Amino acid sequence: MTKKTIKVISLFSGCGGSDLGMIGGFRFLNKSYTKLPYEIIFALDKDKKAVETYNKNFKICAVANDIEDIDCNKIGHTDLIVGGFPCQSFSTVNPSKDPYDERGQLYKHMARFLKEKKPKAFIAENVKGMLVLKKGSIFSKIVNEFLLAGYKIEYKLLNAADYGIPQKRQRVFIVGVRDDLNMSFKFPESTHSEIPSGKIKKWVGIGNIIKSLVPEDPKYYFSQRAVDGMKKAKNNMKRGLWQNLEQPCLTITSHLAKVSINSRDPVLLVNNKKWLYRRFTPREAARIQSFPDKFEFVGSESDAYRQIGQAIAPVMMWHIANSLYRQVFC
């Protein structure tokens, strides 16, 4: 029996991590993520380089534009809308950011699409800081906006490491199912855990994707000046957060091109006696995010790091999209 094709609008699509996960049909760490019956009919992002990457890896061409300028009535019928609306305004790492700035209001445009297109369901993603910012009032406003659009909402803070991704990446996923369907979405069960039991496997360590601690190019090493600065730093500072290869990595961010050894960013320790530290290569960062090696990134290394760090991990989205299909569209 042929599966019905599910039409999808992808908002804030970035380089395509979420869409790769939705479509499936790729391998990661020797595991096959089967093709799912989703078809992206429209993809949009403001980042031109991310859109170039998207268009290099997908059959459909994404549009580089502001969501405010898009008339959703000119887009065909859709069954599902997905979007990781920009999260910088909701970050707890930089509490000085204004959660009410323009970026913090973009979820309203996603709600606009929902009201106009009335798909059966939607998936939204954001940083965990959104849950606690302004004592939770920001998150309540966002959820209420989606409720008013006519959807029953379920949300959960998920850790990518719990789904076989070598990264401790916590993100909030909000899934809405249209009210008239009278259904409640159930999030997929974890496949991995820090403490495995039964069918639940042990977390995947980054040693599975790091081919060699010694980089092919010495430019990835931190300079002696940076290392000396780390040695002089106060003991209470986050410094030299080198990663245990047997454990998942700390969260991959969008600024790894300018990563500091005196920060919360993950780094690799190459040689303890020689104080040799290095940052991840773009390909290593992509693997930590669960992108297959055949996925190509367009632009400079800084562009690639930004696209990778801002992406939704494909394997994470695959699990959610697969569960949604079985519960709502099957």
Phi then psi dihedrals of residue 76, to 5 deg: -65, 180
Q: At what angle do helices 301-310 and 48-57 cross, to 10 degrees?
A: 80
Amino acid 181 reads: L
Phi then psi dihedrals of residue 269, to 5 deg: -95, 115
Neighbouring CB atoms inside 10 A of 137's CB total: 10
* Closest to 202 measured CA to CA, from 252, 246, 250: 246
Dist. CA 156–CA 80, nearest whole Å: 19
Pairing between β-strand 201-202 and β-strand 192-193 as defined by DSSP bridges:
parallel
Specify whether the CB–CB gap between 20 and 41 falls below 8 A: no
By annotation, the residues acting in catalysis are 87
Q: Give 153's strand partners.
A: 176
First to last CA, the chain: 12
Specify whether the CB–CB gap between 205 and 247 falls below 8 A: yes
Token match 């696209």: residue? 307
Specify whether the CB–CB gap between 166 and 313 falls below 8 A: no
Q: At what angle do helices 137-148 and 107-117 cross, to 10 degrees?
A: 10
